[in-house]
């Protein structure tokens, strides 16, 4: 379908201002775009794993959400979504509900890559009709910036601090998008925010209106954890894409499609230098960390291009 971003942006908000997310946080943008991707006549149930978004968007009795909202534990957002979907189907068959509801689950990388992965994996395998949005800010930001399996190699976190004996996290990050693809989900996408907002809107709409379990992984910068001034959010998202640190692509029924090809692939340091969590990588003697990061990104990028043919 022809997708008019201007028309989408003129839709009424279903995630309101007045929440308590930090200035420069991408999670609020994720929610606004996610809810705007819904057709106006459709309703939604949002199952939100514990995390920054949950504590900032729903302080009883106040909420930023217009649609039905369930705060779940860290580990069971998709188990809850599965139960909601099953109950909805039963009530529709019995004629108790006539409206169309879309079941949406959302969580950060801690509640998706790690603590909630078993719940997500089970719901994908069972084939429930829901869409999961991961706002990936690459650490446990809500509890103090501890490393997660989404934290990139060499990033400074409170549990992997950079110092005399350490250059940050030792391990590379988990590629959750590829893991979800391996589950056979009918639609899986990777995207980010400012500068690629049309890409996010299109993928969110496609995911929500594809039957079965679908997944959208959204790189979502965090000003406190990544250590950047709030106004740099758009530039960081742009550099993540232009350096191929975070490629934009989608997988429909196992077929890969590259969403964006940089005209000139920039070096990974253009992304890293914008964030304090990589500051130590630019100190004399640590040049090898940037070289290693570049080697990893190049390898992942070439593997993705091969899959996209």
Helices 27-36, 197-208: axis angle to 10 degrees equals: 50
What is the CB-side half-sphere exposure of residue 117 using CA atoms within 13 A? 15
Q: How many domains does the chain have?
A: 1
Q: Within a 10 A sphere around the Cβ of 69, how many other Cβ atoms?
A: 17
Q: Is the pTM of this model over 0.85?
A: yes
CATH of the domain at 155: 3.40.50.970
Q: Report d(CA 283, CA 201) in Å as an integer.
A: 39
**Domain carrying residue 22:** 5-308
pLDDT values of the chain reduced to their tens digit, one per residue, 309 residues: 566 777 877 888 999 988 999 998 999 999 999 999 999 999 999 999 999 999 999 988 999 999 999 999 999 999 999 999 999 999 999 999 999 999 999 999 999 999 999 999 999 999 999 999 999 999 999 999 999 999 999 999 999 999 999 999 999 999 999 999 999 999 999 999 977 789 999 999 999 999 999 999 999 999 999 999 999 999 999 999 999 999 999 999 999 999 999 999 999 999 999 999 999 999 999 999 999 999 999 999 999 999 997
């Amino acid at each position: 379908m022809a997708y008019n971003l201007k028309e989408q942006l003129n839709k009424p908000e279903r995630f309101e201002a007045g929440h308590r997310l930090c200035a420069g946080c991408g999670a609020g943008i994720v929610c606004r775009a996610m809810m705007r991707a819904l057709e106006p006549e459709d309703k939604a149930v949002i199952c939100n794993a514990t995390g920054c978004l949950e504590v900032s968007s729903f302080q009883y009795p106040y909420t930023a959400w217009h649609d039905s909202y369930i705060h779940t534990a860290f580990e069971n957002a998709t188990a809850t979504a599965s139960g909601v979907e099953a109950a909805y189907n039963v009530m529709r068959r019995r004629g108790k509900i006539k409206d169309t509801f879309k079941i949406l689950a959302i969580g950060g990388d801690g509640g998706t890559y790690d603590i909630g992965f078993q719940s997500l994996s089970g719901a994908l395998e069972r084939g429930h009709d829901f869409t999961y949005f991961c706002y990936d800010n690459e650490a446990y930001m809500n509890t103090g910036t501890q490393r997660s399996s989404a934290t990139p190699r060499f990033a400074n976190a409170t549990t992997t601090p950079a110092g005399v004996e350490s250059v940050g996290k030792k391990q590379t990050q988990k590629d959750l998008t590829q893991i979800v693809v391996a589950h056979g989900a009918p639609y899986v996408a990777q995207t980010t925010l400012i500068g690629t907002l049309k890409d996010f809107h299109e993928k969110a709409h496609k995911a929500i209106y594809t039957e079965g379990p679908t997944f959208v992984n959204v790189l979502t910068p965090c000003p406190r954890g990544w250590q950047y001034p709030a106004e740099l959010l758009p530039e960081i998202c742009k550099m993540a894409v232009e350096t191929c640190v975070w490629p934009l692509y989608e997988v429909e029924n196992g077929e890969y499609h590259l969403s964006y090809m940089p005209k000139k692939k920039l070096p990974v340091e253009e992304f890293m230098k914008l964030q304090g969590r990589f500051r130590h990588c630019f100190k004399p003697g640590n040049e090898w960390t940037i070289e290693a990061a570049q080697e990893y990104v190049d390898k992942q990028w070439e593997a993705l291009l091969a899959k996209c043919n």
